[in-house]
Amino acid sequence: MTDDTGDTDTAAGDASDSAAGDASDSAAGDASDSAAGDASDSAAGDAAEDFSLDRFHEALEAEERPVATASEVARRLGTSQAAARDALAALVDRGDVDRLDVESDPVVFFPTDWGRLATRERVVAFPDRREIVVDRPTQFTRARLSQFAHLVDTTGTDPGTRGYLYRIRQEDVWAAPFEDADGLIASLRSVLPRRFEHLEEWIRDQWRRAHRFRLYTHEDGYVVLQAASESLMGNVADQHLDDDHLRAPISETEAWVNEDAVAAVKRALYDAGYPVEDDRDLDVGDPVDIDLTTDLRGYQETWVETFLDARSGVYVGPPGSGKTVAAIATIAAVGGETLILVPSRELAGQWREELLEHSTIDPADIGLYHGGRKEIRPVTIATYQIAGMDRHRALFDSRKWGLICFDEAHHISSPVYSRTAELQTKHRLGLSATPVRETGSEEEIYTLIGRPIGADWDELFEAGFVQEPEVEIRYVPWRDEMARNEYASADGRERRRLAAENPAKIEEVRYLLAAHRDKKALVFIEYLDQGEAIADALGVPFISGETPHRERAELFRRFRDDGGESDSDRDDVDALVVSRVGDEGIDLPNAELAIVASGLGGSRRQGSQRAGRTMRPAGSALVYVLATRGSSEEEFAQRQMRHLARKGIRVRETNVAE
């Protein structure tokens, strides 16, 4: 903070500043009164009368701090320090402003309402930094902010008292799910205490940026890049695109694009701050005979309509929101042969079942293309691993695909990215609960596939389409002295492993399973030794990448099964310990309880996937995250759960007793 004595505001500072720096508040007031009297009592009174609470708020916003000294207020409002101090004193007398002695400044001032709101939501905007701080945010506020702002950090440890720091980045504005800038601005105004013209103008400018370049198909069949102005083509496109990206200029605002470089053009301009609208004529592919047999929910219909209008995009929604059904509806609406890319063989088989359940497709028209089978059919389901291999190029070349569907779309920046030339001519649909990568390369998803399309998680919770999970971080102590000492003497990666495998977690898992014995449970682990130890201690199956495919499929089937009519007939499994094989894509609708025993060093996406295993249309949903107290796991747990909090999910924290 800036000290009152550091200001040099004309004659008022000669006596007032010295007194403020050397004496207590009362002495500062005496000196201030004396200085004010020297300058003129009536002038000071007039200044105080003109100084409103709104003017004080303006000073705080300019200072970008929630509190300010009299000298800082004077500097920001262009008045003398004496006049500012008298005006603040008048506001204090009226009860509009409070004053506080702090160690580094004689006196700081803040609006009284902020103190009164200590037990309620508080929203403070810093428009110059494009940041919004929210204490005790409501679910409504978190949901609105998640549409156009990035959650940077959270503070506080007690349940219900966290503060959230959001930042509005240009890519957040570009990807915001609104028809126009007015819709985005309306959402912004719904959460901020008042309007901020400068911030709103910046948002409108970013929105305009997202509509300054477009790709379209010329009547002669080639691809054209069109800029909104001659200067954009000359100063932006020409400077950021390589020579082989464009074949030749057509006019001052248009250029002939090398069709193999479409993805590179889009990525280069995105990096330059100008996302490209893609209005090209895309391949439709040979017809495929398929109709949807399941009624769509309202938001799913909106997803499909939005996709058909844009012809590319990523359906974003929590597990259980029906992204796969919406994708099948999209396949039927596009009506062309389709390639579906998935991360695992289990998910390939699951997709086949979903297609047969929700559409009229002939089973003979569905092909599986992975390590065990190599079938290419009108609708082919392949793994990303196979699709990224050069020797399987026939997968891309053998049919005229009209639609490419990327399930778990964050995998797109794997070797499949090398197929950009083949992919860019098709309709492109991505599915993901959280299209985020820790490397910050989410732009690769949006430039290669398309913009996000999706309902707010909160809207699905409120409408009852998806059960909102209860998430709790449980900080587990060291109970084994030998394990504690081994951790203390280790460093680096070994420390992380030891914290993850804290033996006390086994008993905590046992306690949680016993407390919820009526619920189907998944226990997630990172290290195989720990998985085996928990499985042995609890007498439940352990599934990892080493588990044979047939055995894995059978265990998943038994987990989904409700069993027979009597206990003696039951062959179902109520709990599974799973490694990363359970993170993505495995449909386990009976999972009512998830316990994350380790793996907290993973990505935000992994945290969402694991928590998401319990998000289903009905029934209770519980997620417990175990973190060794006093270790880096505390930070990792908070980071992963912060991403869920951004989606509107409430997260609480508990310290487990020694």
For 615-656, the pLDDT digits (tens) are 444 445 688 889 998 888 887 777 766 666 655 566 788 889
End residue of a domain, out of 427, 456, 485: 456
279 burial via Cβ count (<10 Å: 0-12, 13-18, 19+): middle
Domain annotation covers residue 282: no
The answer to whether residue 291 sits within a structural domain is: no
Clarify whether residues 133 and 167 are in a common domain: yes
Structural domain ending residue among the three candidates 71, 90, 110: 110
Domain finish residue from 429, 456, 483? 456
Which pLDDT does position 610 carry in this prediction?
47
Averaged pLDDT, 461-468: 57
pLDDT at 129 over 50: yes
Give the number of other CB atoms < 10 A from CB of residue 393.
Answer: 12
In which band, very low, low, confident or very high, does the pLDDT at 441 lie, cut at 50, 70 and 90?
A: low
- Is residue 309 assigned to a domain? yes
**Residue 19 host element (H or E):** helix 12-22
pLDDT band at 541 (very low <50, low <70, confident <90, very high): very high
Q: What pLDDT, on the 0 to 100 scale, is given for residue 30?
A: 42
Q: How far apart are CA 619 and CA 516, in angstroms?
A: 13
When pLDDT is cut at 50, 70 and 90, the band that residue 564 belongs to is: very low
CATH of the domain at 230: 3.30.70
- DSSP assignment letter at 426: B
- Token duo for residue 223: 């691809």
One domain for residues 452 and 471: no
Residues 259 and 319 grouped into a single domain: no
Note the pLDDT of residue 409. Answer: 82
**What is the mean predicted confidence (pLDDT) over 408-415?**
70
pLDDT over threshold 70, residue 382: yes
CATH of the domain at 11: 1.10.10
Most confident of 39-53, 419-433, 568-582: 419-433
pLDDT (average), residues 22-30: 40
> Is residue 153 in a domain?
yes
- pLDDT for the residue numbered 374: 87
Three-class SS of 194-222: CCCHHHHHHHHHHHHHCCCEEEEECCCCC
Residues 136 and 372: their CA atoms lie apart, in Å, by: 52
Give the residue numbers spanning the domain of 255. 213-274
Same domain, 404 and 512: no
Q: CATH code at 530?
A: 3.40.50.300
Range with the poorest average pLDDT among 89-103, 368-382, 511-525: 89-103
Q: What is the pLDDT of residue 415?
A: 67
Same domain, 478 and 593: yes
Q: Is 581 or 143 the better-scoring residue by pLDDT?
A: 143
Give tens-digit pLDDT for 67-113: 788 888 888 888 888 888 888 888 888 888 888 765 444 677 777 76
Q: Are residues 452 and 473 in the same domain?
A: no
Q: Which residues contact 164 (CB under 8 A, 6 or more apart)?
A: 133, 134, 135, 137, 142, 145, 151, 153, 154, 645
Q: In this predicted structure, what is the pLDDT of residue 352?
A: 94
Q: How many domains does the chain have?
A: 5
Is 47 part of any domain? yes
Tell me the pLDDT tens digit for each residue of 277-335.
899 988 888 899 999 999 998 889 989 998 998 899 989 877 778 899 999 999 999 99
For residues 582 and 621, the answer to whether their CB atoms sit within 8 Å is: no
Same domain for 417 and 403: yes
Is residue 285 in a domain? no
- Global pTM reads 0.60
pLDDT given at position 459: 59
Do residues 451 and 326 share a domain?
Answer: yes
For residues 550 and 499, membership in a common domain is answered with yes
Asked whether residue 363 falls in the same domain as residue 217, the answer is: no
Q: Which of 619, 628, 627, 622 is nearest to 650 (CA)?
A: 622
Contact call for residues 581 and 284 (beta carbons, < 8 A): no
**Has residue 259 been placed in a domain?**
yes
Q: Is position 545 within any domain?
A: yes
Same domain, 449 and 476: no
Q: Could you write out the DSSP letters of every residue in 570-601? A: ----SEEEE-GGGSSS---TTEEEEEE-S-TT
How far is residue 103 from each of residues 59, 97, 118, measured CA to CA in Å?
22, 20, 22
Q: What pLDDT band is residue 450 in, cutting at 50, 70 and 90?
A: confident
State the pairing for strand pair 150-155/163-167. antiparallel
Selected residue with higher pLDDT from 646 and 522: 522
Residue 623 parent element (H or E) = strand 622-628
Task: Assess whether 481 and 435 both reside in one domain.
Answer: no
Token output for 588: 């386990």
**How many angstroms separate the CA atoms of 336 and 270, rounded?**
29
